[in-house]
Amino acid sequence: MSRIDLGDITRNNLGQVRVLHKTLFPVEYKDNFYNELLEAGEFAKLAYCNDVCVGTVCCRKEFVDEQVKDKFKIYMMTLGVLDPYRHLGIGTKMVQHILEQAKSSNITQVYLHVQINNTEAVDFYKKNGFDIISTEQDYYKNITPRDAYLLAKNID
């Protein structure tokens, strides 16, 4: 039985977060992306399987409306698990953690983008209660296909 734990992202393990992103995603992230993670608190985590760092989830808190400063939504920028550790419940644990934090933080919605050909990710998010809201043309600039689904889950 695998033990799955989530840990905080800190200055000391930010290098690990960079390595995971380079390995997991076809997009290059700039320094400010990583620096902002240090302020994300419970909305950015590393995932460990038996004490081995195998995944990460990185979110950004946003205002629902610039005029209303007490309602927020969460944009899930990245969520990934290294290939050999997929299908062990690690991704689900990370999503559930984000959804639980959202419920206790005055968050109205969690949303994200997924490349339209990434059927495994789309199925994963649907299984976790997300719905496809729309298709955004040319969302990605440097990868093909460039189109992305916008998926969202409203928080009760």
- Chain segment 26-45, per-residue pLDDT in tens: 888 999 999 999 999 999 99
| 139 belongs to the catalytic site | no
**Confidence band for 20, pLDDT divided at 50, 70 and 90:** very high
What's the confidence (pLDDT) of residue 1? 75
pLDDT of residue 33: 96
Active-site entry in 75, 111, 139, 140: 75
Mean pLDDT of 83-105: 96
Q: Bigger pLDDT: 96 or 1? A: 96
pLDDT digits (tens, 9 = 90+) for 129-138: 999 999 999 9
- Let me know if 75 is a catalytic residue: yes
Q: What is the rounded distance in angstroms from the CA atom of residue 11 to the CA atom of residue 14?
A: 5
Q: Does residue 65 have a pLDDT over 80?
A: no
Kindly state the average pLDDT of the residues 4-18: 97
Provide the pLDDT for residue 76: 98
Which residue has better confidence, 149 or 65? 149
CA–CA dist 9, 125 (Å, integer): 23
Task: Kindly state the DSSP code that residue 27 receives in the 8-state scheme.
Answer: S
Find the catalytic residue in 97, 111, 113, 139: 113
Is 55:94 a contact under the CB 8 Å cutoff?
yes
**Does residue 86 surpass a pLDDT of 80?**
yes
Q: Which residue has the tokens 């400063």?
A: 69
What domains sit in the chain, N to C, each tagged with a CATH number? 4-112 (3.40.630.30)
The Cα-based distances of 104 to 55, 73, 112 in angstroms read 24, 12, 20
| pLDDT tens sequence across 67-80 | 666 789 999 999 99
Longest dimension (CA), the chain: 49
* Helix ranges, the chain (H): 14-24, 31-37, 90-103, 119-127
